[in-house]
Chains A and B, each alone.
Chain A
Amino acid sequence: MSIITEGRSGQKVLLMGNEAIARGAIEGGVKVCAAYPGNPSSEIIGTLAKIGPELDIYVEWSANEKVALEVAAAASFAGIRGLAAMKQNGLNVASDFLFNLNLTGSIGGLVVVVCDDPGAISSTNEEDTRAYAKIGDLPLLEPSTVQEAKSMIPFAFELSEELGLPCLVRSVTRISHARGSVELDDPVPLSRRPHFNTGRPLVNVPALAFHRKLRAKLHRCRDIFETSEFNEYLGPEQPEALIVASGTPGAYAQETLNLLKAEDRVGIIKLGTTWPLPESFLVRQLRRADVILVAEDVDTFLETNLKALCAQKGRELGIKRFLGRGSGTLPDVGEITPDCLTTAVAEILKISYEARPPEYARTAQEAVSRYAPTRQVGFCAGCPHRAAYWCVKTALALDGRDGFLVGDIGCYSLGFGPSGFEQMKTLHSMGSGAGIAGGMGQLARFGFDQPVMTVCGDSTFYHAALPALFNAIYNQANFLMLILDNSATAMTGFQPHPGTGQNAMGRQAPVVDIEAVCRTLGARIEVADPYDLQGTIEAVNRLLVDEKGVKVLILRQLCALVRANRGEKLYQVRVDQERCLGDGCGCNRLCTRVFRCPGLIWDKEKGRAGIDDAICTGCGVCGEICPQSAILTEEI
C-alpha cells in the first residue's frame, strides 16, 4: 500500500519525478510495464514493480531496452496499454524496433518514457533523444515539472490510442530525480481483455504506403497539439523578448523573470509538446516579439525547428533574432542551469546581474570542503571489482606483452579510473567491450601481438555482450573475456536480472546460468573468486597464453553492498600496528596509496595503516596485499 496506489483525485502529494511517472502510468490504465534499468530512469519500473502485483499490472525487468519496448508493444498489439522506460542510451538500443513500430503503428496505448541525462551526471554521454521523435515521425512530450511528468502520461496513452502510434515522453535527470508536489487524478477505469486481432497483421510492407499513413497521423497529432494544455504563453501582451522553453528550462524561465523582476518585459512560451510543433499556436505567440531566446536541454532541437518554422512563415512573422545555444548566448554543452539562463536574460535586457558573485562562490566552496571530504568516484569498500582489476593489472604486467582490457557499461566502468587502477582502456556502450575485443582479436593476421581482454558484468552480459560473444566464437577471434558476476545490477540500484533467480515483482524466476551459456557456445571457461588474488592472477595468465579462441573467466563474488546490506562480513579485519612498518616499510603505503579501498585509512598520528570499521565490508583482500602481513583477517 502506498500513496502511489492509494491516492485519490484532488489529493496533493510529494513525489519523485519517476514516481510521478509511475503514478501517471497507473492513472493511464497501464497493464504491462517493461524496462532495462538505467539512471535516471530506473525508479519508474522500480516503483511499479513493487506495486504491480497489488494492482494487477505486469512489470518486468527485460534483458535490454529493445526487448522491453517489444514486450510493452506486444500489450499494445493485444489492445491493452503498455509502457517501456529507459535512459537515453537505451533508446538507441530500442531504436531499430521503434523505427519499424512507427510504421505498423500500435493499438492499445503505448508510451515510451526516455529519461535523458543532460550534463551526463550518471551517464557516458548527454545524448538528446528528442531527435528520435523527428526521425521516426513520433509524437513527443516534454514535462517541465514533476506535476507534468505525471499528467502527461495518461494524456500520452490517450494520444497514442487516438493516433495508433507510440508516444515518446522525454524526462531529464532534474525531473526524474527531483521531488515536487503533484495533484493526483483517479485512474481511468479500463477493463479490457487482451486479444490480438489476427485479421489485422502488423506488417510494415510496403513501407512507403505505411510511411504515408504515418505522416498523416503526424499531421493529425499536430492538430491535437495546437490546443494542448501543456503549451502556454505567460507574460505581457507585447514583451520586449520571448523565451521559448521546454523541459526544466521551462520552469527555470519563470524563476529567472521573477528574480530579475522582468515578468512584464519578457514573455515565456512554454512548450510541452515539442514534436510535431504546434505551428499555429507558435505563430500566434511568436508575433509578440522579435528577440527570441530558446532554452532547452541539450541540443538545439527546438531552436532549429523554430527557425525552420519562422522561415516558412516569414511573411507573417517577419525577421526574428534567435538567441540560445546556437548563438552562444547559452552554453554549447551541458545542462541549462537557472544561473546561466538568468545571466543570458539579464544580458538581453541589459540588466546588471551577477548570478553568483565570485566571493560567494569561494566562501561556499570553503565551507563545503570543511565539512565534506573530497571523494573520488570509485568502487565501494570491499568491491570485488577492485580486486578483479588488481588481478588484471598484475596479470597483464606479468604477461609483459603490452596486453590491455577493453570494457563497457556497468559498475565496472569505473575500472578506467584510479579505483580500477586505470585498467579499462575503452569505454563505450553496453556490450561494446566484447565486440571491440572480437575485432582486436582478428588483427593478429596483420602483426598485432598484444593480448586482448574484455570485461563485462553479469547484467551487461545478458543485455548486449551475448551477440558479440557469439560473433567472436563464430569468427574465431582470440581474446579473454572476464565476466564479473556479482549477482546484481548494482550500478542502477540492485534490480534483479536473469541471473539472480528473482523477477521484477519479487517472485522466484529461473536462473539463466552464464557459465552454462558460455560453455554451450563452446568457449573455454574457468571460474575464479576475485577475492582470491593469487588464484585469479594465475587463471588470467594461464588463459592469456592459451593461444587460440575465446576464453571466458567468470569472476564470481557477491557485490559488497549486497553483502553489507545483508549485514554479513566475511572477515573481521584489523591492522596490527606493531607489524605495520608505516613509512619505514618501503612498501610506500601500498594499501592506502595504491590499493586504496576506502575501508583502509592512514593513521596519521601513529604513521601506520588502519581499518575504518564503519566502512570496511570485511572482504579481507587487503590482507593478501600487505607485504608485512600486518593486515590481519579473522574469519567470522
Chain B
Amino acid sequence: MKPHANSFTLSTLAVIIFTSWILAGANVAFASPRQNILADYAARVKIQTPGFEGFSTDRGKKLFLSKPGTGKPDIPSCTTCHSNNPANPGQTRAGKAIEPMAVSRSPARYTDFKKVEKWFRRNCKSVTGRICTSLEKGDFLTFMINQ
C-alpha cells in the first residue's frame, strides 16, 4: 500500500502545482495585453516629453468627441462611426454594426497591438487628415478603459 499512497500524494502535488501555474499564467495573460499596449505608447511619449505625467481620460474624451475639420468631409469625427456614447454600438457607413468601444462593454478590445495600430492609422487619417500621436492613442485607450 505504501508505494501506491506515495505516488498518489506525488501526483496530487503535481496537479496542484500545475493548476496554480496555469491559473497564475492565465491571470497574467488576462491583464497584460492591453496594459502592454498602453505601456508601449507611454514609453514612446516619454522619449519626446521627459516630464510626461501619464495619459488622461479627459483628453481622450475630447479627442473622441472632437470634429477637427481637417480630414474627409464625410467622416468628421470618431463619433461618426462609433456613436456619441462609447457604451453604445456604432455603425459603419455601409450600415454594419460596430461593437461598443468601451472596455466594460467589449472586454476583448485593445488587446491586439497590430489591430489597434491598424485602426488608429486608418481612422485618424480619415478624421484628422494625419496620423495620431502616441499621446493621443494612449489618451484614447485610457478613456475607453475607464468607460
Interaction A to B = no
